[in-house]
């Protein structure tokens, strides 16, 4: 088991206390902490503590494929098919719905 440190997304609708408190991060400038990402997303991979060094989770699970996540991960290209998000919503927003992988990839491109 490896300790993970998530990546914070600072959207204007985020709160100021919950995620910093959960992560042990000071937030003296009251910056909004909206989402804490715990996964291998290319735009914000969590980092794992490997022998005292921080390593991006996407890099860690890619070398060599299957070593960290096991052989069953090959069906997902060696990357988890999910992104765990911890949310702190300080102001109301619409519900977020994500498409399946194919439309999402096309929309992102």
Give 10-residue mean pLDDT values along the chain (109 residues). 92 94 95 95 92 91 78 77 90 72 80
Q: Which residues of 42-58 are buried (b: 16+ CB within 10 A; e: fewer)?
A: eebbbbbeeeeeebbbb
- In this structure, which topology does domain 4-108 adopt according to CATH? Jelly Rolls (2.60.120)
pLDDT at res. 95: 61
pLDDT at res. 106: 82
pLDDT at res. 102: 84
Tell me how far apart the alpha carbons of residues 89 and 34 are, in angstroms, rounded to a whole number: 6
pLDDT at res. 107: 77
pLDDT at res. 79: 76
């Amino acid at each position: 088991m490896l300790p993970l440190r998530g990546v914070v997304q600072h959207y204007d609708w985020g709160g100021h206390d919950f995620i910093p408190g959960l992560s042990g991060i000071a937030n003296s400038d009251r910056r909004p902490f909206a989402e804490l990402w715990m996964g291998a997303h290319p735009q914000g991979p969590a980092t794992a503590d490997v022998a005292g060094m921080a390593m991006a989770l996407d890099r860690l699970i890619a070398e060599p494929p299957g070593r960290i996540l096991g052989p069953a991960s090959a069906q997902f290209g060696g990357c988890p098919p999910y992104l765990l998000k911890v949310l702190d919503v300080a102001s109301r927003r619409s519900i977020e719905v994500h498409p399946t992988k194919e439309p999402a990839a096309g929309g992102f491109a």
